[in-house]
Amino acid sequence: MKLLRYGAKGKEKPGLLDSEGRLRDLSSVIPDITGETISPKGLARLRKIKPESLPLVRGKPRIGACIANPQKFIAIGLNYSDHAAESGLQVPKEPVVFTKQVSCLSGPFDDVTLPPKSKKSDWEVELGVIIGTRAKNIKKADALKHVAGYCTINDLSEREFQAERSGQWTKGKSYDTFGPVGPWLVTADEVKDPQKLHMWLELNGKRVQNGSTSTMVFGVAHIVAYLSEFFTLMPGDIITTGTPPGVGMGMKPQRFLKPGDVMRLGIEGLGEQGQKVVRDK
């Protein structure tokens, strides 16, 4: 299934795509796409519904983040060896873990707003993992059983805030709109292998990132099990798993986002995003 949320910001409704790619309204069945509704029990209920029995959504409504109210938005850094190299950093021996504040969640086609003092905002196409069942101290062999689905994420980053202002990476990763998630949550049963997905990002029509999840240092199963050792993963939690090379920080000369730029990105089978860059007031 491809689950999504549509409508005005803060008033999104749940929906799904039918076999012909048409948006169907799920609001008569569930109140929203949440951790509860993507639990194994919740997904089993949705799979029994015939999409053609649901109302068609007319027009082209705004698409919101594909999951509502996650408790956590967790990120993994330097998880592609070639990206670590372009960043001038060593490949980590263990996953580099930081958080994005959930207030940065954004729709996949919403404008990206640069902080007023931003000079080094950057792009990162990443595979998103959305947890479906509580995971605590689990084994790697069992980890994927806890995944409800996958999505496309743009892990936007303000590099000066991240690396030059001391402290943790979180403050360079969490500005409002720095977490476009979606357009859809694709349930795990429709993703044969999360480690074999092509991913890309274009800036102003030029392909700048072109990679594959096959080159991750730590795969999805490893990451989910690893995180569960340190804190409990809850249904609806989002994990964004790192980016391949081609970010602005790694270019020579470096190239960072400016108002008017347009990003377009996608992951095989998980849908595309598109954002225009504006300056926040």
Domain with residues 73-279, CATH architecture: Alpha-Beta Complex (3.90)
- Provide the pLDDT for residue 225: 98
Q: Which of 82-91, 227-236, 246-255 has the least mean pLDDT?
A: 82-91
Residue intervals in the chain for CATH 3.90.850.10: 73-279
Phi, psi for 105 (deg, rounded to 5):
-55, 140
Calculate mean pLDDT across residues 253-264.
97
Calculate mean pLDDT across residues 115-136.
97
- Provide the pLDDT for residue 47: 96
d(CA 147, CA 248): 31
Q: Is the pLDDT of residue 86 over 80?
A: no
pLDDT in tens, 107-119: 999 999 999 989 9
Q: Write down the H helix ranges in 106-219.
A: 159, 170-173
Q: Is the pLDDT of residue 167 over 80?
A: no
d(CA 36, CA 71): 12
- Alpha carbon dihedral 121, 127, 133, 134, in 10-degree steps, equals -50
d(CA 3, CA 215): 27
